């Protein structure tokens, strides 16, 4: 068998636009749109502000757009970093199976780089789509090298491992590196991979995606300058295998008729900014609420004796009294209570005010988690059951197996656009938001994908819009 590493390099190098299926194109455009929206919204977060301040220290020969900011630019490395942080800042970005957040690690790097090189080279929409999908595909394939990866992670945060590798692959594709350099890009990227789970539910978590994008970009650039690493990086246990306890790498399918993972396995798109596990909880809790409350009335908190949420056993999601937005986004209990109280969870649910509401704290005190043995910590099979016991003895129970937005029940095109619009309009004008939607919708036909950056900056010039919309 050929070494897996060499095989990956060959495929990264050899894939071209004709390999992209319609379904893959459609799904990846949805992912691109969602990621942009989530990133734009994320530029309003505190963590984003901190990384901006930090990155500005490197700002001169700046040549890439910071999403939502007309006022300054950054070198591509740092633009990829801050935009990646923005995408993951609120845990609002896409999730795949096996679990990782694929798009945020790849898209910011590609957009930043394509813009930086715009004087020397034009990248079309199809170029971007192809490179994007290479980045997604590589992540998916790498995750299948370990059965550990199928479950919600415990040791390393997946975006920091496969995301870094995916970013390197995507950039290698965009730069049209030869197979040798594609291989070296992967090898060098491995030395940047990996971040421990303990930083999840802290402000540093978004940096995992920012760094994945940044370091993958850096690795590919170093490879293109001739840097070499271990040519069997994917094959060896002391290579990418260092991050896993069981590691069984496999070669990619032949290019003759390439079968993309995204074709077989869609992503989940979040409806509100919190860990994916909370989406089952929210749907179950909202359903139970309907039994408890009629019309516009508020929840009879005092009438409730006990709330039980049956969820999988995931240590870092078990937070009875979260104190920060980052903790709240990673708390089953918070999700149950917010959905019961308000009927649904939204961006605003995580404001400081809402996190510390007395009514919410009341409900949290009555909430317990249970971990039925058949409820496995895998986004493919987990479920949530919410039982509310009233003072009068009545018990109401609802269960959610598949929330709306999960890959088994994908968001409609309309709802996806609604989410994007709601996010983007926090920082962009209506025209710019429209411009992005139009551009991504027609990405296969776009001649110069750096137009996305004009919109991402927030320029509202109608002239730009006109120029773009002449597909």
Shortest distance, position 208 Cβ to other proteins, whole Å: 6
- The smaller minimum CB distance to other proteins, of residues 47 and 106, is found at 47
Shortest distance, position 68 Cβ to other proteins, whole Å: 19
Shortest distance, position 82 Cβ to other proteins, whole Å: 12
- The smaller minimum CB distance to other proteins, of residues 56 and 418, is found at 56
- The smaller minimum CB distance to other proteins, of residues 196 and 303, is found at 196
Shortest distance, position 385 Cβ to other proteins, whole Å: 22
> What secondary structure letter does DSSP report for 96?
-
Helix and strand totals (H; E) in the chain: 20, 6
Shortest distance, position 276 Cβ to other proteins, whole Å: 16
Beta-bridge partner residues of 397: 387
- The smaller minimum CB distance to other proteins, of residues 325 and 342, is found at 325
SS3 326: helix
Q: In degrees to the nearest 10, what's the CA dihedral of 138, 227, 51, 160? A: 30
- The smaller minimum CB distance to other proteins, of residues 325 and 398, is found at 325
Shortest distance, position 345 Cβ to other proteins, whole Å: 23
Query: Whole-angstrom Cα distance, residue 147 to residue 132?
Result: 25
Which parts of this chain interact with other proteins (CB under 8 A)?
47, 50-51, 53-54, 57-62, 75, 77-78, 154-157, 160, 187-188, 190-200, 202-204, 207-208, 211, 218, 221-222, 225-230, 232-233, 236-243, 315-316
DSSP letters spanning 384-438: EEEEEEETTS-EEEEEESS-TTSTTSPPPHHHHHHHHHHHHTTTS-HHHHHHHHH
Query: Whole-angstrom Cα distance, residue 152 to residue 193?
Result: 18
Query: Whole-angstrom Cα distance, residue 319 to residue 321?
Result: 6
- The smaller minimum CB distance to other proteins, of residues 303 and 315, is found at 315
Shortest distance, position 379 Cβ to other proteins, whole Å: 17
Which distant-in-sequence residues (6+ apart) come within 8 Å of 130 by Cβ? 15, 16, 17, 20, 173
Shortest distance, position 5 Cβ to other proteins, whole Å: 10
CA atoms within 13 A on the CB side of 205: 27
- The smaller minimum CB distance to other proteins, of residues 341 and 355, is found at 355
Cβ pair 98, 146 in contact under 8 A: no
Shortest distance, position 159 Cβ to other proteins, whole Å: 11
- The smaller minimum CB distance to other proteins, of residues 151 and 439, is found at 151
DSSP letters spanning 101-144: -HHHHHHHHHHHHHHHTTTT----HHHHHHHHHHHHHHHHHHHT
> Distances from the Cα of 282 to the Cαs of 168, 268, 335, 336, in angstroms?
36, 15, 6, 6
- The smaller minimum CB distance to other proteins, of residues 108 and 203, is found at 203
Helices (H), 175-276: 179-190, 205-224, 261-264
SS3 99: coil
């Amino acid at each position: 068998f050929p070494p897996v590493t060499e095989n990956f390099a060959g495929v990264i190098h050899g894939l071209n636009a004709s390999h992209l299926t319609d379904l893959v194109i459609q799904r990846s455009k949805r992912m691109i749109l969602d990621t942009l929206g989530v990133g734009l919204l994320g530029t309003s977060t505190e963590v984003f502000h901190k990384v901006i301040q930090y990155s500005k220290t490197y700002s001169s020969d700046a040549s890439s757009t910071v999403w939502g900011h007309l006022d300054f630019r950054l070198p591509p490395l740092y633009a990829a970093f801050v935009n990646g942080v923005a995408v993951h800042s609120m845990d609002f970005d896409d999730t795949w199976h096996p679990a990782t957040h694929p798009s945020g690690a790849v898209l910011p790097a590609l957009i930043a780089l394509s813009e930086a090189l715009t004087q020397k080279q034009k990248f079309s929409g199809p170029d971007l789509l192809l490179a994007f999908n290479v980045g997604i595909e590589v992540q998916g394939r790498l995750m299948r090298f370990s059965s550990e990866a199928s479950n919600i992670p415990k040791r390393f945060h997946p975006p920091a491992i496969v995301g870094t590798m995916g970013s390197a692959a995507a950039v290698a594709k965009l730069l049209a590196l030869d197979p040798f350099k594609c291989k070296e890009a992967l090898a060098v990227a491995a030395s940047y991979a990996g971040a421990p789970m303990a930083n999840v539910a802290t402000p540093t978590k978004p940096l995992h995606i920012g760094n994945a994008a940044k370091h993958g970009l850096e690795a590919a650039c170093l490879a293109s300058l001739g840097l070499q690493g271990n040519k069997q990086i994917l094959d060896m246990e002391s290579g990418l295998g260092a991050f896993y306890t069981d590691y069984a790498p496999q070669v990619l399918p032949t290019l003759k008729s390439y079968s993309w993972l995204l074709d077989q396995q869609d992503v989940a798109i979040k409806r509100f900014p919190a860990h994916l596990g909370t989406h089952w909880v929210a749907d179950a809790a909202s359903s139970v609420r309907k039994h408890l409350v009629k019309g516009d009335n508020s929840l009879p908190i005092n009438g409730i004796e006990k709330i039980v949420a049956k969820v999988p056993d995931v240590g870092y999601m078990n937070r009875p009294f979260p104190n920060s937005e980052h903790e709240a986004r990673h708390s089953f209990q918070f999700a149950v209570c917010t959905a019961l109280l308000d009927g649904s969870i939204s961006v605003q649910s995580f404001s400081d005010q809402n996190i510390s509401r007395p009514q919410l704290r009341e409900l949290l005190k009555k909430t317990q988690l249970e971990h039925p043995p058949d409820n496995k910590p895998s986004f493919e099979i987990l479920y949530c059951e919410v039982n509310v016991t009233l003072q009068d003895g009545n018990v109401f129970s609802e269960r959610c197996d598949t929330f709306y937005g999960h890959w088994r029940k994908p968001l409609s095109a309309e709802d996806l656009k609604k989410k994007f619009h709601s996010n983007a309009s926090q920082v962009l004008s209506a025209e710019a938001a429209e411009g992005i939607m139009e551009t991504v919708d027609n990405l296969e036909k776009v001649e110069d994908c750096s137009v996305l950056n004009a919109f991402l900056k927030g320029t509202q010039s109608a002239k730009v819009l006109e120029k773009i919309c002449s597909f």
